[in-house]
């Protein structure tokens, strides 16, 4: 059985439709969005209309039914054009719709997943708190039992889409002493619930089209229908979402490397110094070769992992222990390598542009600011290396 793989005609059609759409509708607005630091409402609305907020979700739940491979194609294409649009779709899809599909009851899927996959409602995911970042099981937001429901109190931070989302998947401690092993539960909180408000939104070095919001929960009362997955098993919910998120981040990084390489290649062939195009100098050629090598390797890694996740399906009860461990290690590897390779490629592409690369408003300058966060969010790269090392020590290579 050959290990070579190719995209289906349907996947190729998705790529070409997305590429056309992004070039025509998104690329022209990105510089102004970045400068004004505003959420790109008009293009997000158009992406919703195109079905891009439900690419991996089965058609019976309102999505396009194109799986994780289709979703990674979308994220790769977004990564070529604009990281903010990629992060908006990623927070909604990887971190919002994935856990609903994997852990939602049929009723929850009808109520929250279907409108989200159709793009009628925007989702966000909220794990991080002021005192709980990498140590994500140490959440201090509490969910106390009241009758058959809960009362949530606490402060969450750094929530992508937090300002605009209609529904946020919030991790809260139902038994803070137990931490991640049985003490954290996932809740579906709609904006407008009494006591649930958006606090400050951060100013950032990049991703200017996204909101990064604080969420304040002041005695938010919820019924049992808002518990996603089992009580105390919120960490499984979060990790399932992050396994998908980390592979799709790799896809977005791949798009970032492709775009950086293309821009650097064009510039190097046009820019003449010492009587020759700078592309004639080996020092420049080697930088371009490194970008191409990393893009080649990352492409195989991303789509191999996405195809594996498609093969495993969305039901966690059907995943074997080994398969689950392999999926998690693979996702951590792709997120870590992909983000570092993208940062490196964009840095070198900026260097190839010389002084022009440092001038505000050039695509490579924006990409440089946007790319840095991929080494930090969805688990820092130090944490990815810990995940990989723990699995390595437990299972070997």
The Cα 375–Cα 342 span in angstroms is 10
What does the buried/exposed string (b/e) look like for 88-105 if buried means 16 or more CB atoms within 10 Å of the residue's CB?
bbbbbbbbbbbbbbbbbe
For residue 91, the minimal CB distance to ligand FAD (Å) is: 5
Measured from the CB atom, the residue of 67 and 206 that comes closer to ligand FAD is 206
Look-up of token digits 């790109």 = 40
Candidates 76, 129, 330, 378; catalytic one = 378
- In terms of phi and psi (left: phi > 0; alpha: psi -120 to 50; beta: otherwise), the region of 268 is alpha
Question: What binding mask, one character per residue, do residues 201-230 give for ligand FAD by CB under 6 A, x or -?
Answer: ---x--x----x------------------
378 tagged catalytic? yes
Q: Is 304 a binder of ligand FAD (CB under 6 A)?
A: no
Which residue from 93, 98, 160, 279 is in contact with ligand FAD, where contact means CB under 6 A?
160
Which residue from 34, 379, 384, 387 is in contact with ligand FAD, where contact means CB under 6 A?
379
Q: For residues 119 and 47, is the Cβ–Cβ distance under 8 A?
A: yes
The Cα 95–Cα 141 span in angstroms is 19
For residue 209, the minimal CB distance to ligand FAD (Å) is: 11
Q: Which two tokens stand for residue 247?
A: 């592979």
First to last CA, the chain: 23
Residue 135: which residues within 8 A CB-CB, separation 6 or more? none
| E strand or H helix at 88 | helix 83-92
Question: What binding mask, one character per residue, do residues 187-206 give for ligand FAD by CB under 6 A, x or -?
Answer: -----------------x--
Which stretches of 93-229 are DSSP H helices?
98-103, 106-108, 114-117
The Cα 256–Cα 61 span in angstroms is 31
Piece of the chain touching ligand FAD by CB under 6 A; list 123-131, 223-231, 316-324, 336-344: 123-131
Closest CA to 159 of 179, 141, 144: 141
SS3 content of the chain, % helix, strand, coil (to 5): 60, 15, 25
What crossing angle do the helices spanning 234-270 and 282-312 adopt, rounded to 10°? Answer: 150
Which residue from 297, 308, 380, 390 is in contact with ligand FAD, where contact means CB under 6 A?
380
Measured from the CB atom, the residue of 310 and 340 that comes closer to ligand FAD is 340
The Cα 71–Cα 87 span in angstroms is 13
Piece of the chain touching ligand FAD by CB under 6 A; list 26-34, 221-229, 352-360, 376-384: 376-384
Q: How many residues bind ligand FAD (CB under 6 A)?
A: 22
Q: Is 172 a binder of ligand FAD (CB under 6 A)?
A: no
Which residue from 158, 267, 341, 368 is in contact with ligand FAD, where contact means CB under 6 A?
158
Residue 343: which residues within 8 A CB-CB, separation 6 or more? 371, 372, 374, 375
Piece of the chain touching ligand FAD by CB under 6 A; list 11-19, 303-311, 362-370, 380-388: 380-388
CA-derived radius of gyration, the chain: 21
For residue 90, the minimal CB distance to ligand FAD (Å) is: 9
For residue 149, the minimal CB distance to ligand FAD (Å) is: 23
Q: For residues 234 and 184, is the Cβ–Cβ distance under 8 A?
A: yes
Measured from the CB atom, the residue of 115 and 162 that comes closer to ligand FAD is 162
DSSP state of 233: B
Piece of the chain touching ligand FAD by CB under 6 A; list 61-69, 282-290, 308-316, 375-383: 375-383
Binders of ligand FAD among residues 124 to 153 (CB under 6 A) are: 125-128, 133-134
Binders of ligand FAD among residues 54 to 93 (CB under 6 A) are: 91
Q: Which residues, listed in sequence order, are joined to residue 273 by a DSSP beta bridge? A: 276
Piece of the chain touching ligand FAD by CB under 6 A; list 64-72, 99-107, 269-277, 373-381: 373-381
Instruction: Name the residue whose CB lies closest to ligand FAD.
Output: 133
Q: Is 159 a binder of ligand FAD (CB under 6 A)?
A: yes
Measured from the CB atom, the residue of 62 and 379 that comes closer to ligand FAD is 379
The set of catalytic residues is: 378
Contacting positions for ligand FAD (CB under 6 A): 91, 125-128, 133-134, 158-160, 204, 207, 212, 373, 376-380, 382-383, 386
């Amino acid at each position: 059985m050959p290990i070579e793989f190719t995209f289906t005609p349907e996947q190729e059609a998705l790529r070409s439709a997305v590429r056309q759409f992004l070039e025509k509708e998104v690329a022209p607005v990105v510089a102004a969005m970045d400068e004004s630091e505003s959420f790109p409402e008009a293009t997000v609305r158009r992406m919703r209309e195109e079905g891009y907020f439900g690419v991996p979700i089965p058609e019976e739940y309102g999505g396009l039914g194109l799986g994780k491979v289709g979703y990674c194609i979308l994220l790769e294409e977004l990564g070529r054009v604009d990281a903010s649009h990629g992060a908006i779709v990623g927070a909604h899809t990887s971190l919002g719709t994935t856990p609903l599909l994997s852990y939602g009851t049929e009723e929850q899927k009808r109520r929250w997943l279907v409108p989200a996959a159709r793009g009628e409602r925007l989702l966000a995911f909220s794990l991080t708190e002021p005192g709980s970042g990498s140590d994500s099981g140490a959440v201090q937001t509490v969910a106390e039992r009241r009758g058959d429901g809960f009362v949530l109190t606490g402060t969450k931070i750094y929530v992508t889409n937090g300002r605009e989302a209609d529904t946020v998947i919030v991790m809260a401690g139902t038994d803070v002493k137990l931490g991640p092993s049985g003490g954290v539960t996932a809740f579906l909180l709609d904006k407008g619930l009494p006591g649930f408000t958006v606090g400050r939104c951060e100013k950032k070095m990049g991703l200017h089209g996204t909101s990064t919001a604080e969420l304040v929960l002041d005695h938010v009362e919820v019924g049992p229908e808002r518990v996603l997955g089992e009580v105390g098993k919120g960490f499984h919910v979060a990790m399932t979402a992050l396994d998908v998120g980390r592979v799709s981040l790799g896809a977005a990084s791949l798009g970032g490397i492709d775009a950086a390489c293309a821009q650097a290649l064009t510039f190097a062939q046009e820019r003449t110094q010492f009587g020759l195009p700078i592309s004639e100098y080996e020092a420049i050629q080697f930088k371009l070769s490194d970008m191409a090598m990393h893009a080649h390797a990352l492409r195989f890694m991303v789509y191999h992992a996405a195809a594996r996740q498609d093969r495993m399906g969305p039901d966690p009860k059907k995943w074997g222990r080994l398969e689950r461990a392999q999926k998690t290690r693979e996702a951590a590897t792709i997120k870590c390598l992909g983000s570092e390779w993208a940062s490196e490629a964009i840095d070198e592409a900026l260097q190839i542009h010389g002084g022009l690369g440092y001038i505000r408003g050039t695509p490579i300058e924006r990409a440089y600011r946007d790319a840095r966060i991929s080494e930090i969010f969805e688990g820092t790269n130090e944490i990815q290396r810990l995940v990989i090392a723990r699995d390595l020590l437990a299972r070997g290579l």
